[in-house]
Amino acid sequence: MKKINIAIDGPAGAGKSTVAKLVAKELGYLYIDTGAMYRAITYKSMELGFDLKDQIALNEYLLKHPISFLSDSGQQKVFIASEDVTEKIRTPEVTNNVSLVSAHPLIRKTMVSMQRELAKNVNVVMDGRDIGTNVLPQAQLKVFLTASIEQRASRRYQELLAKGYKANLEQIKNELFLRDKKDQERAVDPLKKADDAILIDTSGLSIEEVVKRIQKYI
């Protein structure tokens, strides 16, 4: 039986991960958070003191320590080098450096290979920035989520406060603006909507409303 792939793309703070996770749960599909994969290698590289501009060193480490996912009591956990980094990769420091790491051609090539392998034999919902255009161009359903930068900044602000981090709304808005610019202008696999993707503006919509819209297309 042919495996079903669902690709959900969009900028930071558009709700991709939360929506994709819920859609996968409803369908009983594997959820693959590609952003978490880039965050994992970013976190580990920072922890080990690597030069984040040295893509060769980062890629060698990644090849020796593949990233994996494990579902535990309904929660998805992210591992690299057998270490559970699920919470560690969500710090502001990782957020501010992940665009640099994810722009490296070598890192992207290795990650895309890993992501395609994960999606090869199971039904998946995969979210990221280039899933519909590059990682899974054959996906049966492609969705591009977006939202105003004010809405996205507000969501990120609330998330950080809920996790106990200090946060400044204006600073977050500026960081999102810069990250969007980096993601859209990077030379390799930039953030953009696939021609056959369904565009959903999540501004003013609840997570449940976005999930319901996607379910209609499914």
- Look at residue 133 and tell me if it is in a domain: yes
The 10s digit of each residue's pLDDT in 137-188 is: 999 999 999 999 999 999 989 988 998 888 899 999 999 999 899 889 888 8
The 10s digit of each residue's pLDDT in 12-22 is: 889 898 999 99
91: exposed, middle or buried (C-beta count within 10 Å: 0-12, 13-18, 19+)?
Answer: middle
- Look at residue 44 and tell me if it is in a domain: yes
Could you tell me the residue range of the domain that residue 161 belongs to?
A: 5-213
Classify the phi-psi angles of 127: left when phi > 0, otherwise alpha if psi is within -120 to 50, otherwise beta. beta
From residue 20, alpha-carbon distances to 46, 98, 126, 175, 185 in Å are 28, 20, 7, 23, 25
| Domain at 104, CATH number | 3.40.50.300
Mean predicted confidence (pLDDT) in 115-134: 92
Query: Helix 149-162 crosses helix 169-185 at what angle (to 10 degrees)?
Result: 120
Indicate the number of domains in the chain: 1
* pLDDT confidence tier of residue 63, bands split at 50, 70 and 90: very high
- Look at residue 144 and tell me if it is in a domain: yes
The 10s digit of each residue's pLDDT in 75-122 is: 789 999 889 999 999 998 999 899 899 999 999 999 999 999 989 888
- Look at residue 87 and tell me if it is in a domain: yes
The 10s digit of each residue's pLDDT in 175-202 is: 999 989 988 988 888 899 999 999 999 9
* pLDDT confidence tier of residue 1, bands split at 50, 70 and 90: low
The two structure tokens encoding residue 3:
């495996």
Running DSSP on this structure, what letter comes out for residue 206? -
Estimate to the nearest angstrom the gap between the alpha carbon of 34 and the chain centroid. 4
What lies within 8 Å, CB to CB, of 216 at 6+ separation is none
- Look at residue 218 and tell me if it is in a domain: no
